[in-house]
Chain A
Amino acid sequence: MITDNKSEAHLYAHAEADMTKGKIWRVFFYLLGLTALEFLIALGFVETGLIEKSLTVVIIYILLTLWKAFYIVAYFMHLKFEKKGMKVMLAMPLVLLVYLIVLVLIEGDYIGIFLYK
């Protein structure tokens, strides 16, 4: 059994050498840039009162977060270079999460309105 695992491991060990050092550092600077952008919005615009912390700002924050998450999952966790079956297997359950998030947030908001007004 152990020998089997070993030979299997050998099979995949050198199948993916596509993340070169240069690429890794480039992704690092993307992540750093996106984080810096978030700080710019938070400290440069919202904190100084240039723009108000509205729903639009929150949506921008969330989009930047998802963008960062994409870089981490796709390049650092190497998912972009896996086979399609693997990507689909991992992405499909997340559809349910989106559904959960939308439902629960609407529900939370509704109860709030109900109590306060």
Chain B
Amino acid sequence: MNATISKLDEVKTGNWSGGTSPFKVEYGKIMMWLFLLSDVFTFTGFLVLYGAQRMFIQDTWPNPDVVFQSIPGITDTGAPLVFVGIMTFILIVSSVTMVLAVEAGHRNSKKEVVKWMVLTIIGGLVFLGCQALEWTHLHHAGFWFGAIPDSYQGEQAMGATQFSSYFFAITGFHGFHVTVGIIVNIIILLMTLSNVFERRGTYLMIEKVGLYWHFVDLVWVFVFTFFYLV
């Protein structure tokens, strides 16, 4: 009898029986990951819908190399992929500066965290600026939600209309994420400057916003492939 009770009372040590954490990640970080997972579903929903429409009207879908062939302010034609290449580069760089901020946070080095966070925010702003330029250019060319240039006629108009609406909806939603990311980054930067993390003794918050910022980069990798390359 005694033996049975003491066995029940025994402290469990296994990963999944309450002994140790199976994830070994701080609460806020798990929540950020789960939020990002739900965001993956949102973006997949958009991109899958885009893919289905594109399969559906593949014959009249506009050629991305023709639609995106300008560098705003420099040339209007003949440079496919160049401008979006610059945008992709900027976003990758700002992702790297973000990891460097996280790395500096591990060493509790406030000065470096501030430096890399500022660079990350600048990268995000430049990316948004590029996107604004591209949107403006396409808008002047006649593309908008549900609107297309007159050069697409008849059957061609069907693919072009779908393309136009999906492009603005999906890159717009991505741009919205970038905007939120920049705002959150600025808040975190201000918290760093006012020594909140210094007093807390840990820069874990940088990691959490870092996860979000990398996710924005991750989504862009897919948007870039499916809108500009394929």
Given A61-B225, A105-B55, the answer on whether A89 and B211 have CB atoms closer than 8 Å is: no
- Chain A residues within 8 Å of B215, by CB: 77
Q: Taking CB as reference atom, which chain B residue is nearest A76?
A: B214
Contacting residue for B92 out of A19, A32, A58, CB 8 A:
A32
Task: Establish whether residues B221 and A93, one from each chain, have CB atoms under 8 Å apart when the complex forms.
Answer: no
Interface residue tally on B, bucketed by range: 35 or more
- Chain B residues within 8 Å of A35, by CB: 85, 88-89, 92
Least Cβ distance of A94 to chain B in Å? 7
How many inter-chain residue pairs (CB < 8 Å) link A and B?
A: 153
- Chain B residues within 8 Å of A61, by CB: 225, 229-230
Least Cβ distance of B45 to chain A in Å? 8
Task: Establish whether residues A12 and B95, one from each chain, have CB atoms under 8 Å apart when the complex forms.
Answer: no
- DSSP class of B's interface residues: helix, strand, loop or mixed? helix
Q: Which of B3-11, B46-54, B118-126, B165-173 contacts A (4 or more CB under 8 A)?
A: B46-54
Does A50 reach chain B (CB closer than 8 Å)? no
Number of interface residues of A (CB under 8 A): 60
Q: Taking CB as reference atom, which chain B residue is nearest A61?
A: B229
- Chain A residues within 8 Å of B89, by CB: 32, 35
Q: Taking CB as reference atom, which chain A residue is nearest B88?
A: A35
Task: Establish whether residues B22 and A85, one from each chain, have CB atoms under 8 Å apart when the complex forms.
Answer: yes
Least Cβ distance of B224 to chain A in Å? 8
Does B133 reach chain A (CB closer than 8 Å)? no
Given A32-B92, A82-B23, the answer on whether A108 and B81 have CB atoms closer than 8 Å is: no
Q: Within the assembled complex, what's the spacing in Å between the Cα atoms of A11 and B92?
A: 31
Residues of B within 8 A of A (CB): 15-16, 22-30, 33, 37, 40-41, 44, 48-49, 51-59, 65, 80-81, 85, 88-89, 92-93, 95-96, 98-100, 102-103, 106-107, 200-204, 207, 210-211, 214-215, 217-218, 221-222, 224-225, 229-230
**27 CB < 8 A contacts A-B:** A9-B26, A9-B204, A13-B106, A13-B201, A21-B100, A24-B99, A35-B85, A38-B229, A42-B229, A61-B229, A62-B225, A62-B230, A64-B225, A76-B210, A77-B218, A82-B23, A83-B23, A86-B23, A86-B25, A86-B30, A90-B33, A94-B40, A97-B40, A97-B41, A105-B55, A112-B58, A116-B59
Residues of A within 8 A of B (CB): 5-6, 8-17, 19-21, 24-25, 27-28, 31-32, 35, 38-39, 42-43, 47, 58, 61-62, 64-65, 68-69, 72-73, 75-78, 82-83, 85-86, 89-90, 93-94, 97, 100-101, 104-105, 107-109, 111-112, 115-116
A78-B207, A105-B52 provided; 7 other pairs, C-beta below 8 A? A10-B202, A28-B93, A32-B89, A35-B92, A42-B80, A83-B23, A105-B48
